[in-house]
């Protein structure tokens, strides 16, 4: 009778230990956790990224998955809130026992959950949040696919130096940590180029009437109007109301996702004409599969993806590639495989390197795009342009 009792105790102990393990994998699937803003002010971005992750996983699983196993995608909502995002990551790690994390749109939320991923030793591939410090904390388990915010300004500085040569600027920004960080980043470019600031004004993201602010902008007669708005409603209202007031600087330059989402042109119509945007992807970038991804997304979801979609879709393929190369399906081995990534995606080449203060950061070129005839065309640099830039903005007339 003692031997069965001893075997029973061993069995129970093994079962108990298996429950404690984080990142375990069943014989049937591999759990991947994704954190996205499915509600709140970035819900439009979250929806595009969710659809892109799902599309990528469907393709990967239909092609045989990873080592014959299916990828089980578990998506949680951050609601663009650090507390909600933190609780979601805790669930993904402790309850769902995912072996790798992806997503991350809002920089403040991503900073919080990246620290948690590092503490719990679960690899986290950030695909959208751009605050520089995310990859400046020497976190062994945190990687980033997209360029940091500071690198988005390089192509803008080139265009302003070689083409626009503006002298004065009005800077409008959402009064959020993201908006203030974007302002700080652009201010470095502005100072380097010697631009004189005629107006610098923040606004509350609940603002729906910008006419008074834009009237002040018009009176100051800036050559450049620089706008930071992550929310598509803010971006849309700013441009619509600027058009109503016949505000005509030499150049409108939008920063953040609000000016790049496909809905921006749909909502603003002709008013969006010739608004420029510093961009990191469009279907016309010279990357294999970019057009195919765009066309497949449109066919599947009956809407157009932007760079967020390309980021999410590519992030899933980067994770699948790491899983295929990992020695085992444990967080540490997946982390080590991610560190050795060297591949091409529809978003561009992916290789995590260290430079300056950055660690495990992918480095990619940026582009200047402009809304021309209802399409977001790449206009700078010249060698990859899909259309000639329209400048000054007054030529719209």
Residue pLDDT, tens place only, 159-211: 999 999 999 999 999 998 778 888 888 898 999 999 999 999 999 988 999 99
Token pair of 332 as six digits = 């540490």
375 pLDDT band, cuts 50/70/90, is confident
Structure confidence by residue, pLDDT tens digits, 312-358? 999 999 999 999 999 999 999 999 999 999 999 999 999 999 999 99
Q: Which of these CATH numbers, 3.40.50.2300, 3.90.870.10, 3.30.365.10, 3.40.50.300, describes 20-147+287-362?
A: 3.40.50.2300
In this structure, of 16-20, 293-297, 388-392, the range with the lowest mean pLDDT score is 16-20
**pLDDT surpasses 60 at 11:** no
Beta bridge partners of 101: 33, 124
Q: Region 362-378: what's the mean pLDDT?
A: 91
**pLDDT surpasses 90 at 258:** no
Q: Where in the chain is the domain with CATH 3.40.50.2300?
A: 20-147+287-362, 151-279+367-396
* Burial group, residue 186, by CB count within 10 angstroms (0-12, 13-18, 19+): buried
Q: Region 206-231: what's the mean pLDDT?
A: 94
Domain 151-279+367-396 indexed as CATH 1.10.287.90:
no
Enumerate residues 6+ apart whose C-beta is below 8 A from 60. Answer: 66, 71, 316, 317, 320
Beta bridge partners of 369: 277, 378
Structure confidence by residue, pLDDT tens digits, 143-152? 999 999 888 7
Q: Region 2-6: what's the mean pLDDT?
A: 48
């Amino acid at each position: 009778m003692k031997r069965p009792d001893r075997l029973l105790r061993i069995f129970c102990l093994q079962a108990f230990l298996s429950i404690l393990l984080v990142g375990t994998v069943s014989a049937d699937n591999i759990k991947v956790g994704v954190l996205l803003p499915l509600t709140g002010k970035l819900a439009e971005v979250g929806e595009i990224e969710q659809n892109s992750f799902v599309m990528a996983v469907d393709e990967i699983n239909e092609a045989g998955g990873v080592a014959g196993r299916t990828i089980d995608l578990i998506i949680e909502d951050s609601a663009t809130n650090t507390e909600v995002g933190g609780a979601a990551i805790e669930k993904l790690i402790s309850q769902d026992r995912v072996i790798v994390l992806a997503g991350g749109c809002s920089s403040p939320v991503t900073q919080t959950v990246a620290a948690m991923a590092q503490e719990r030793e679960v690899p986290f591939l950030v695909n959208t949040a751009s605050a520089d410090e995310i990859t400046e904390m020497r976190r062994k388990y945190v990687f980033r696919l997209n360029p940091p915010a500071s690198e988005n300004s390089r192509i803008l500085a080139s265009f302003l130096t070689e083409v626009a040569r503006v002298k004065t600027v009005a800077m409008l920004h959402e009064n959020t940590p993201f908006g203030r960080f974007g302002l700080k980043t652009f201010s470095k470019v502005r100072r380097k180029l010697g631009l004189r600031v005629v107006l610098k004004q923040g606004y509350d993201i609940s603002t729906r009437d910008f006419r008074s602010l834009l009237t002040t902008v018009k009176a100051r007669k800036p050559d450049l109007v620089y706008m930071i708005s992550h929310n598509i409603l803010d971006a849309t209202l700013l441009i619509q109301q600027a058009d109503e007031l016949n505000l005509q600087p030499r150049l409108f330059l939008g920063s953040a996702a609000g000016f790049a989402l496909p809905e921006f042109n749909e909502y603003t119509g002709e008013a969006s004409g010739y608004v420029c945007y510093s961009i990191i992807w469009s279907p016309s970038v010279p990357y294999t599969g970019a057009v195919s991804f765009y066309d497949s997304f449109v066919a599947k979801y009956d809407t157009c993806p932007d760079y967020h979609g390309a980021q999410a879709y590519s992030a899933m393929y980067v994770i699948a590639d790491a899983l295929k190369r990992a020695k085992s399906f444990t967080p540490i081995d997946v982390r080590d495989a991610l560190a050795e990534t060297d591949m091409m995606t529809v978003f561009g080449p992916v290789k995590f390197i260290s430079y300056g203060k950055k660690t495990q950061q992918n480095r990619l070129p940026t582009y200047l795009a402009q809304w021309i005839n209802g399409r977001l065309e790449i206009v700078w640099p010249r060698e990859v342009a899909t259309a000639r830039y329209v400048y000054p903005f007054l030529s719209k007339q």
